[in-house]
């Protein structure tokens, strides 16, 4: 996984069976491939800005579709013209590769 494109082309895998959270070095390396995402505690997040509420809600619905397809769900905080997206993996108690896969997919969506 060298680029955000590579990450966005991957699919999430179930985090069952005691997979450990990613270590700080791996998180840092993966975060370098994401534009504008920041690490806060044990989550990564980014705020996306839009022209109006209609565009914001279209984005929210598209993120919901990604979540459904990948079976990995973010925390969304929705405003009139912005949406904050946060990922972390409850099952591992921190960040997993799935968080970065979904973040890259959301970035790809936003670039369209």
Task: Count Cβ neighbours within 10 Å for each residue of 57-95 and write b for 16 or more, e otherwise.
Answer: eebeeebeebbeebebebeeeeeeeebebbbbbeebebb
Upper half-sphere CA count for residue 102 (Cβ side, 13 Å): 30
CB 89 within 8 A of CB 20: no
3 has a pLDDT exceeding 60: no
For the chain, domain boundaries:
22-111
Q: What is the pTM of this model?
A: 0.89
Q: Which CATH number fits domain 22-111: 1.10.760.10, 3.30.9.10, 3.40.50.2000, 3.30.1360.20?
A: 3.30.1360.20
Residues 25-84 pLDDT 10s: 999 999 999 999 999 999 999 999 999 999 999 999 999 999 999 999 999 999 999 999
Residues 78-95 pLDDT 10s: 999 999 999 999 889 899
5 has a pLDDT exceeding 70: no
């Amino acid at each position: 996984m060298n680029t955000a494109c590579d990450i966005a082309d991957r699919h999430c895998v179930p985090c069952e069976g005691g997979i450990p959270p990613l270590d700080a070095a791996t998180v840092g390396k993966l975060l370098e491939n994401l534009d504008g995402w920041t690490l806060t505690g044990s989550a990564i997040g980014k705020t996306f800005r839009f022209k109006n509420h209609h565009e914001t809600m279209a984005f929210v619905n598209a993120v919901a579709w990604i979540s459904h397809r990948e079976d990995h769900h973010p925390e969304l905080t929705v405003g009139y013209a912005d949406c904050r997206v946060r990922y972390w993996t409850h099952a591992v108690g921190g960040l997993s590769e799935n968080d970065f896969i979904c973040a890259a997919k959301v970035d790809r969506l936003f670039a369209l």
